[in-house]
Chain A
Amino acid sequence: MEKLTVDLCGIELDNPIIPASGTFGYGYEFAEIYDINCLGTFSFKGTTKEARFGNPTPRIAECTGGMINAVGLQNPGVKKVIEEELPKLKKCFNKKVMANVSGFSIDDYVYTSEKLDKCEQVGWIEVNISCPNVHGGGMSFGTCPESAAEVTRAVKKVTRKPIILKLSPNVTDIVSIAKACEEAGADGISLINTLLGMRIDLKTRKPVIANKMGGFSGSAIFPVALRMVYQVASAVKVPVIGMGGVSSAEDVIEMMLAGATAVQVGAANLVNPFACKEIIEDLPKVMKKYKIDKLKDIIGGAL
């Protein structure tokens, strides 16, 4: 067991596997089919100050090696998350959960983070400044170093738990944004959120997705994600969580070699609901194959 442990911002994870926000709900759909306590932790559905329905449907389009989603942060709002979702989660998950927070203004981020920071079940706050599917907020905070730093500072001021800034790949220089977040007090960086993409239906000659564009994820984006994780991990001292197209134990090891302390698994959960469980079970075998004794020893091994 100790072979798989990693330290994420002062909290030890049994293993580095974390289902990514938006692909794991608030946990209990998966708890119905396996014991989710096998996970390192998971990042729950992006939560905002007020309840949101999100975007009109269709919200999903298929691609080669992946999918596009334009859900648009559907969630019941932070109050309901604390009053209803977290107590429900407590019954099936006894570890600290990662609270994923989104907003449309600095005040939104502050409000939601402050509330979740007080929840005993929450271990980390993952601040999503990279959602491609909402207008006038979300990603716009993550596309320039100044506003990314501003969100980081404001959230840091009202929280005691480690804050992890989740970055967008849809930028010209992700390293400068990561560094700005680190300087502003981020305890960790997670990347990448989805790549902005689209599909057009040949029959209707219109975009497949009602919102026209959406976030591209799935195994096809892995090399792009890996490259960005490598660049950011080379430039910052805080822990980096790598994600983007991860779907096997081998991918996890590759991400860790690129500098990831922990690894999130997203779209793979939607195709195979057992993906994270299977990756965790496969890790010891793959480690043995590549003569890895302890996973934490390989973090940044390729840097």
Chain B
Amino acid sequence: MKKIEFKVIKNIKLNDSVMEMTLLGDTSGIKPGQFVNIMLEGLYLRRPISVCDIRGDKLIIIYKVVGKGTEMMKNIQEGYLDLLTELGNGYDLSKSGANPLLIGGGVGIPPMYYLAKKLIEEGKKVTVILGFNTKAEIFYEEEFKNLGASVFVTTADGSYGSKGFVTDKMADLDYSYFYTCGPEAMLKAVYEASNTSGQFSFEERMGCGFGACMGCSCKTITGFKRICKEGPVLEKEEILWKN
């Protein structure tokens, strides 16, 4: 973990409710699947946001405006933010095999981007499924394509790409391993639809974000884990679903 001041250099709308913020600072040591915890003036707790990409000394985060914190973030156009970085375990890239499948749903998509980039750098043949509810929510399709990944988009209402859920698309594809992040209902569906091993990134309400408060613990087959410290990425074989 590091505590670093980042300079906000860009904060733009990707669609009606999703924003992309670019921050400048010490990005060394940040791995795919990790998150940062952002202090916002006037709010007591920091806001954990997944890392979407690292471009040199630029950190890209994508967030959906859903509450007080993200509403506040939306309006930041300049200045500095106090971040805790290198939080969480991140994805283990060594297990990917030759042709990994990356499955992202909604705001679970951003961490898939840096992961795809790193896997492609390693020479892996990466396939990505991006799941949305409807066409208006789509973001980053082109960005994933520009990395050189095979990209499939699904929308629940069929307004773009193939109609249905990410799991409908999974059935058509061959893959060596998978990585996923998205709403818990989607993660569970992926868990059931998948025919290989894989890694899942989870969300939980956090206190500190670095393992001190035990606020975000979960039970797994391999014992109690803190989503912020031993997570947010869990392996398929260790997951115990709450519901």
Contact = CB atoms under 8 A, between A and B. Distances in A.
Interface in B73-110: 84
B207 interface: yes
Interface class of chain B by DSSP: loop
Nearest to B39: A271
Interface string A204-217: 00001000000000
B43 interface: yes
B205 interface: yes
Contact of B44 (A24, A45, A271): A271
A58 B214 CA distance: 11
Residue from B43, B204, B210 with most neighbouring chain A CB atoms (10 Å): B210
Residue from B84, B204, B215 with most neighbouring chain A CB atoms (10 Å): B215
Interface of B: 1-3, 39, 43-46, 84, 204-208, 210-219, 224, 229, 242
Given A59-B216, A74-B217, A273 B84 contact: yes
Interface stretch (A60-68, A84-92, A94-102, A292-300): A60-68
23 contacts: A22-B213, A22-B214, A23-B213, A32-B1, A33-B1, A57-B204, A57-B217, A59-B215, A59-B217, A60-B45, A60-B215, A61-B205, A62-B45, A67-B44, A69-B207, A74-B217, A219-B44, A267-B44, A269-B212, A271-B46, A271-B208, A272-B39, A273-B1
Contacts of A54: 214, 217
B213 A57 contact: no
B217 A270 contact: no
Nearest to A45: B214
B35 to A, nearest CB: 15
Please provide the 9 A-B residue pairs with the shortest distance between their CB atoms, ordered closest to farther.
A270-B208, A60-B215, A58-B205, A74-B214, A60-B207, A29-B211, A62-B45, A71-B214, A59-B215
Given A58-B205, A270-B207, A65 B44 contact: yes
B40 to A, nearest CB: 11
Given A270-B212, A271-B39, 9 more contacts: A29-B1, A32-B1, A56-B242, A60-B213, A62-B43, A64-B44, A67-B45, A271-B46, A272-B3
Interface of A: 22-25, 29-30, 32-33, 45, 53-54, 56-67, 69, 71, 74, 208, 218-219, 267, 269-274
A87 to B, nearest CB: 19
B205 A23 contact: no
A273 B210 contact: yes
A256 to B, nearest CB: 25
Contacts of A71: 213-215, 217
Contacts of A45: 214
Contact of B211 (A25, A56, A218): A25
A57 B216 contact: yes
Contacts of B215: 57, 59-60, 69, 71
Contact of A274 (B3, B43, B213, B216): B3
B212 A23 contact: yes
Contacts of A67: 44-45, 207
Given A53-B219, A69-B207, A273 B212 contact: yes
Given A60-B207, A273-B84, A218 B213 contact: no
Nearest to B43: A62
A270 B206 CA distance: 10
A69 B213 contact: yes
Contacts of B3: 33, 272-274
B48 to A, nearest CB: 11
A164 to B, nearest CB: 21
B212 A30 contact: yes
Contacts of B242: 56
A29 B212 contact: yes
Contacts of A272: 3, 39
A57 B206 CA distance: 10
A58 B216 CA distance: 7
Contacts of B229: 29
A74 B224 contact: yes
Nearest to B208: A270
Contacts of B43: 62
A220 to B, nearest CB: 8
Contacts of B205: 57-61, 208
Contacts of B212: 23-25, 29-30, 269-270, 273
Nearest to A59: B215
A53 B212 CA distance: 15
B28 to A, nearest CB: 15
Contacts of A57: 204-205, 215-218
A223 to B, nearest CB: 16
Contacts of A65: 44
